[in-house]
Amino acid sequence: MRWARADGCRVWDETGREYLDLTGGFGVAALGHGNQKIREAIAAQPVMHALGDLAEAETTARLREALPWPVKFGVTGEDAVEIALRTALLATGKPGIVAFDGAYHGTGLLALAATGLERFREPFAAWLPGPVHRRAYGEDPGALPAGTACVIVEPVQGRAGARVPPDGFLETLRSRCDEAGALLVVDAIFTGLGRLGVMWPGEHVADVLCVGKALGGGLPLSAALFVRRELADAWKLGRDDVYTHTHVGSPLACAAALVLLDEVPKLLPRVGEASARFAAAGWQGAGLLRTRRLEAADAFRRGVLVIPIPATEAADSLSQTAPPLTISDQEIDEALEKLSA
């Protein structure tokens, strides 16, 4: 399938066939595809590209000021994870990472080392950094191993099938980190910016909070947010920024992000209502990140786009929904009717 056009919660392929989109482009289109306010914000930018870490556009500076904590920007979600993990090494001087089964943090080597999906890791095992100590998601990891710099965790695991941990899990991790002098990195790349019905899931326990996907409104942008503010100083390593990209802080993406920060808080009550609708239809998970036993190919034939979760990553072959936060009751009902027909 090739997408020819996308608008709101609907997508059209190259043949003109229309689909209800429950993927949101892997959760990127939080305000719906082609959101007009985002289009206008991007079009209004007087600077399309600045000079990376040497000179940023005024719009990038405005986004820094609008975020609730100091930030180091990335381009992809993996960048934000990489920044967070490197921050832990810089701040503690220790190399160890505690991560969880079923975790997905990205496919660059450091993020991949923390990722818990072996089919991604195995081809590159010889090159993966460490040490990484794997633990069971949702369970108390116990005293952290000596040399642990950080624990990295998703508030709800996306790739593993919208796995929701028991109440108190994140607070337990906070206590374990405090005991060991380690940082707690919360990877909210998929779940942040309203997906779970809150803006910043895990902010109450995190030292560093990673966000991405929806942040750029369809353009590549991510951020490592230093909830423990002094951690930003760990990157004062001299004249050069030792972790940067040419497109860091893209003015166009930052303009879109400013729209997201303004619009998403207004949608949080609506996310709760839409979430309840999916839950009543048997979709497991939290907020608008949910799964159920369903063949994605069958959904596609019925005109509904879902995210396939292979049986190798979950107990059963599942399909996942991560629709725009703007999805209406009528669109939810239409999708559910098509899937149950």
Q: What is the pLDDT of residue 51?
A: 87
pLDDT band at 313 (very low <50, low <70, confident <90, very high): low
Write out the CATH class of domain 41-259. alpha beta
Query: Which DSSP string do the residues of 291-330 spell out, in sequence order?
Result: EEE--HHHHHHTTEE-EEE-GGGSSS-EEEE---TT--HH
pLDDT in tens, 60-73: 999 999 999 999 99
Q: Residues 238, 216: contact at Cβ < 8 Å?
A: no
pLDDT at 120: 94
Q: 258 Cβ partners below 8 Å, 6+ apart?
A: 41, 59, 62, 63, 66
Mean pLDDT of 93-107: 97
Residue closest to 106 by CA, chosen among 97, 98, 115? 115
Residue 316: what pLDDT?
63
Token code pair at residue 227? 């909830």
Query: CATH topology of 3-34+267-340 equal to that of 41-259?
Result: no
Q: How far apart are CA 250 and CA 88, in angstroms?
A: 26
What's the rounded mean pLDDT across residues 257-285?
Answer: 98
Q: Is residue 311 scored above 80 in pLDDT?
A: no
Burial 268-286 (b: 16+ CB within 10 A, else e): eebbeebbeebeeeebebb
122 vs 274: CA distance, rounded Å: 38
Q: Please, what is the average pLDDT of the chain?
A: 96
DSSP 214: G
Tell me, what's the pLDDT at 315? Answer: 57
The Cα 226–Cα 205 span in angstroms is 12
pLDDT for 314: 55
- For residue 30, the model assigns a pLDDT of 98
Cβ count within 10 A of residue 319: 26
On the question of pLDDT at 74 being above 80, the answer is yes
Q: What is the pTM of this model?
A: 0.97
φ and ψ of 273, to 5 deg? -65, -45
d(CA 177, CA 41): 41
Positive or negative, the CA dihedral 332, 190, 225, 167 is positive
What integer pLDDT is reported at residue 317 of this predicted model? 75
Contact 226, 70 (CB under 8 A): yes
Q: What is the CA radius of gyration of the chain?
A: 20
Taking a C-beta distance cutoff of 8 angstroms, is the pair 215, 260 a contact? Answer: yes
Q: Pairing mode, if any, of strands 222-226 and 208-211?
A: antiparallel
Q: Which amino acid is at 37?
A: K
pLDDT per position as a tens digit, 8-62: 999 999 999 999 999 999 999 999 999 999 999 999 999 999 988 789 999 999 9
Ordered alpha helix ranges (H), the chain: 24-27, 36-43, 58-66, 77-92, 109-114, 118-121, 169-180, 251-280, 296-301, 329-340
Q: 107: which residues sit within 8 A by CB, 6+ positions away?
A: 78, 115, 120
Q: Which residue has the tokens 């004062």?
A: 236
Region 114-140: what's the mean pLDDT?
96
User: CA angle, corner 92, sides to 201 and 176, nearest 5?
Assistant: 50
Please provide the CATH number assigned to the domain covering 3-34+267-340: 3.90.1150.10
**Boundaries of every domain in the chain:** 3-34+267-340, 41-259
